Amino acid sequence: MSKSISENTGGARLHTKILRGLLAGAALGILANTQLGGKHPLVEWVNHFVAGPAGQVFLRMLFMIVMPLVFSSIALGVAGLGDLRKVGRVGGKAVAYFLATTFLAAATGLVFVNVFKPGDGLAPAVKVELMQTYAGDASAKINTSKEGGFGVHTFVNIVTRNPLKSAVEGDMLGVIFFGLVFGAALTLIPPAKAKPMTELLDSLNEVVISIVGMAMKLAPYGVTALIFGVTSRFGFALLLPLSGYVLVVLGALLFHAGVNMSLVLRFLVGISPALFFSRTRSAIVTAFSTSSSSATLPTALGAAEQGLGIPPQIAGFVLPLGSTMCMNGTSIFEGITAIFLCQVFGVDLTLGQMTVVVVMAVITAVGAAGVPGGSIPLLVGILAMFGVPGEGIAIILGVDRILDMSRTAVNVYGDISATAYVARSEKLWSASKVPGLRQVPELAPEKA
């Protein structure tokens, strides 16, 4: 996620508490499983009356704010572009670049998770038992998601007939579409009339952020309870694929930054990837250490303007927009995590459904960009679309800190590359204008 949960909930201490909760729940669960067995009356009593309710309170807090979070953040994000008729070439190029690179990132994550299949390390019997244990209404959701396959009707159904009904039924695509249209409409009416609604949406967004903060304060206890529930039933079997999952996410992030973005920088931006990285390194390090695109924005502006020599009028417009819309790393994380948990819970996705996952990863990454901690409830919403129980989120929440840091660094890398691309396409900048190249000859761009 570009914006760290720590912004509203106590910094690194919260992540430390969540990790401790994961370890404590896993240790206690494995101990109970090995010493008593997953079906021992005492273990079942603890899961039914203590761990289960505690975990469900945390999950329900997340589910409760998914739809208002999606609508308010996406509508505000689109409205924040200003009058679409006046944004012109610069805004259009920036948004196109954001969406293209974010989609490329999500597709990269899809390839990685399907090639390495980190969730397939579970024994088939464990997957069957997982679904039986956490079924609830999951089977109905799976059947619904598979009805009719993937085709033209999938896109038609995105256009919701009733946005309130879509929100009630958990139709996130319908709510997203309504949010996009609503935000775009706000830019097309006179500013004086749009302002009250924009302020209302902003207030709604702030309220949702506060609720996310409340929910995340419960996260250490909720994660302990949820992890105890699964490890007490399944022992070590559920924890072994976790290391593979973390490596797949980090590998996909590294591949996107080192290969995909290097090609983009070389051929679209016209600059050596080594030169670009050397001049933006301070912003990347800040992003990694803070897990926050917002906190990194001043450093990123300095890297773009002083490090690369990009005109302030371009950097000042594109970077703030990019910090909320250019979510390369977040889309990789959400796509891989959704498919990983589908693999863990034995939910087989068709190629069409995986395409939906990629699209959802792109849209929700953009939509959640301005909300601290917002990727977690949105990710739960994606999982629910494919019948994966909400309890699954606890499996990855404890290891999210290092992934949060890494994907934010990739997000910011994409933000700054977008400013360079737009500036070059507007003929206001080229690699030859990078300051200090004469003093550092080895960094000079290659001559055409």
Closest CA to 208 of 80, 13, 376: 376
Q: Return the pLDDT at 143.
A: 42
From CA 423, how far away is CA 93, in angstroms rounded?
A: 10
> First and final CA of the chain: distance in angstroms?
38
Q: Return the pLDDT at 112.
A: 96
272-287 per-position pLDDT tens digit: 999 999 999 888 988 8
Higher-confidence position of 267 and 12: 267
201-215, 384-398, 406-420, 431-445: range with lowest mean pLDDT: 431-445
In the chain, the percentage of residues whose pLDDT exceeds 90 is: 24
Average pLDDT, the chain: 79
The whole-model pTM stands at: 0.70
Give the model's confidence band at 289: pLDDT under 50 very low, under 70 low, under 90 confident, else very high. low
Higher-confidence position of 80 and 222: 222
**The pLDDT of residue 42 is above 70:** yes
74-78, 201-205, 332-336, 365-369: range with lowest mean pLDDT: 365-369
Q: Return the pLDDT at 367.
A: 56
290-316 per-position pLDDT tens digit: 677 766 887 888 899 999 999 888 888
Mean pLDDT along residues 396-413:
82
Q: Which architecture characterizes domain 6-433 according to CATH?
A: Orthogonal Bundle (1.10)
Domain spans, the chain: 6-433
Q: Which residues contact 79 (CB under 8 A, 6 or more apart)?
A: 183, 184, 186, 187, 194, 198, 201
**The pLDDT of residue 252 is above 90:** yes
In the chain, the amino acid numbered 434 is V
Q: Does residue 248 contact residue 74 with C-beta atoms inside 8 Å?
A: no
From CA 194, how far away is CA 190, in angstroms rounded?
A: 6
Give the model's confidence band at 327: pLDDT under 50 very low, under 70 low, under 90 confident, else very high. confident
Q: Return the pLDDT at 249.
A: 95
In the chain, the percentage of residues whose pLDDT exceeds 70 is: 79
Mean pLDDT along residues 348-352:
84
81-95, 179-193, 224-238: range with lowest mean pLDDT: 81-95
Closest CA to 399 of 441, 336, 314: 336
**The pLDDT of residue 137 is above 60:** no
Higher-confidence position of 4 and 188: 188
